[in-house]
Amino acid sequence: MRAFLLTRLVAAGAIVVSCAAGTAAFTPAAIAQTAVADVIVPPAPKPAVPKPTPAKQLFGSKDRPADLKPRAIGFYSRGCLAGGQALPIDGPAWQAMRLSRNRNWGHPNLIKLIERLATDAKREDDWPGLLVGDLTQPRGGPMLSGHASHQIGLDADIWLTPMPDRRLSWAERETTSAVSMLADTLSVDPKVFTTKHVKLIQRAASYPEVERIGVNPAIKLALCRAEGGDKPWLQKIQGWPGHHYHMHIRIKCPENSDGCTGQGPPTHTSCAHAEKWYRDTKAWLEQPKKPKPKTEAKKPSKPKPEVTLTDLPNACEDVLAAASAGSPKNQIEHVLAPARKPVSRAAAVSPTR
């Protein structure tokens, strides 16, 4: 561009020299003016529009909750959480697992529910205590790994493995594997899945704020058979693929959470539906499998566009921008931790809206 401009001006200068003895129209000033006016400036290349930072990086980099009134904002799989509260990592009847993920946060209603379930199940049902998996991040929102839901602080994964009668170390909470309840695709393992599990899940379903509980379809079937058919509490239990080592508890939108979009009670939860799942799946498994015809290699499908802040409710922008609540040192850091890695902030840049 600069070279282009210079070339044109030098050319104009040459005219000045050759026409120096001419009329006033060829004065150096006039020629210079002509030269400038005559310069054709090629259009500037469009500046590259920076891609907005994926929301999972913005929310995943927040290690403390927003100092705002507690509020679940949006839908379970598209939203965020204001005023998140931490589930203490140890309680009289629970221990939180996978502490490095910093996902022991939730709406106060969820925290209250877990504490109540843990203590009720221990006292009433002889369940030794809960191992609590992921709730959500301090400010909810999309996560860097794992769940599509768990974004508004109203979902909890509760392991179906009973809590041991000792306090687990940090390392054990990171590496202990949950035990699958299944013997095979169709059925639970009776040595692992016991009447105590039935009672625990029933206890969880008994609270009015619990709207649905997701368990593997084989576990749903086992519950139906253990209960001898439909019971009102079983209507809250939904067969979800996976979920063979934990139950996923989802609670209703809290009353004071403006902008929380509920889901309503689940459908297709009758025991007849569970038995149909059994018959259909069994028939499918028993079908002789035909060798797959060779097909041309499929083109890799386009990756889904990243969820950004503009895809979330507007209030999530305020949640992200709010000051942090609580002490800078999360309780986790000085209980068990052998040098907890700080959450990287490198990826977190200002939102674009």
Q: From the CB of residue 92, how many other CB atoms can be counted at a distance below 10 Å?
A: 11
Count Cβ atoms below 10 Å from residue 51 Cβ, excluding itself. Answer: 10
Q: Which is nearer to Zn ion, 211 or 278 (CB)?
A: 211
Return the number of the residue (63 or 157) whose C-beta is nearest Zn ion: 157
Task: Output the smallest distance, CB 214 to Zn ion, in A.
Answer: 7
The conformation of residue 314, written as its DSSP 8-state character, comes to: T
Contacts of 115 (CB under 8 A, 6+ apart): 87, 91, 94
| Residue 115 within binding range of Zn ion, rule CB under 5 A | no
Nearest distance, CB of residue 143 and Zn ion, angstroms: 11
Considering only residues 133 to 172 of the shown chain, the ones binding Zn ion according to CB under 5 A are: 157
Pairing outcome for strands 130-132 and 94-96: parallel
Q: How far is the CB of 248 from Zn ion (least distance, A)?
A: 4
250 membership: H or E segment, kind and range = strand 246-251
- Residue 251 beta carbon to Zn ion: minimum distance, rounded to whole angstroms: 13
At its nearest, how many Å lie between Zn ion and the CB of residue 86?
18
Query: What token pair was written down for 2?
Result: 């600069």
Q: How far is CA 137 from CA 84, 89, 208, 289, in A?
A: 8, 14, 25, 43
Q: What is the total count of residues that contact Zn ion (CB under 5 A)?
A: 2
Closer to Zn ion by Cβ: residue 250 or 271: 250
CB nearer to Zn ion: pick between 133 and 254: 133
Please tell me the distance from the alpha carbon of residue 150 to that of residue 153, in angstroms, as a whole number.
Answer: 6
Q: Which is nearer to Zn ion, 12 or 243 (CB)?
A: 243
- CB 274, min distance to Zn ion, A: 20
Q: Which of 107, 244, 248, 273 binds Zn ion (CB under 5 A)?
A: 248
Residue 157: CB minimum distance to Zn ion, A: 4
Segment lying near Zn ion (by CB under 5 A), choices 19-27, 196-204, 248-256, 269-277:
248-256
Residue number, 115 or 157, with CB nearest to Zn ion: 157
Beta carbon of residue 134, minimum distance to Zn ion (angstroms, whole number)? 6
| Helix axis angle, 217-227 to 271-286, nearest 10° | 130
Q: Residue with CB nearest Zn ion? A: 248
DSSP state of 324: B
Interface stretch with Zn ion, choices 118-126, 189-197, 242-250, 344-352 (CB under 5 A):
242-250
Span 37-96, contacts to Zn ion by CB under 5 A: none
Q: Rounded distance, CA 257 to CA 313, Å?
A: 13
Nearest distance from C-beta of residue 334 to Zn ion, angstroms: 28
User: Nearer Cβ to Zn ion, position 66 or 143?
Assistant: 143
Contact (Cβ atoms closer than 8 angstroms) between residue 63 and residue 343: yes
Provide CB contacts within 8 A for 141, sequence distance 6+. Answer: 55, 56, 58, 59, 60, 79, 80, 81, 151, 312, 316, 319, 320
Any bridge partners for residue 248, and if so which? 157, 214
Taking the least distance from each CB to Zn ion, the nearer of 248 and 273 is 248
- Candidates 11-19, 122-130, 241-249, 275-283; binding stretch for Zn ion (CB under 5 A): 241-249
H or E segment at 60? helix 55-60
By beta-carbon proximity to Zn ion, the closer residue of 85 and 149 is 149
- Given a contact cutoff of 8 angstroms between Cβ atoms, the answer to whether 106 and 81 are in contact is yes
Instruction: Give the span between the Cα atoms of 323 and 168, in whole angstroms.
Output: 33
| Pairing mode, strands 210-215 and 246-251 | antiparallel
Which residues bind to Zn ion, rule: CB under 5 A?
157, 248
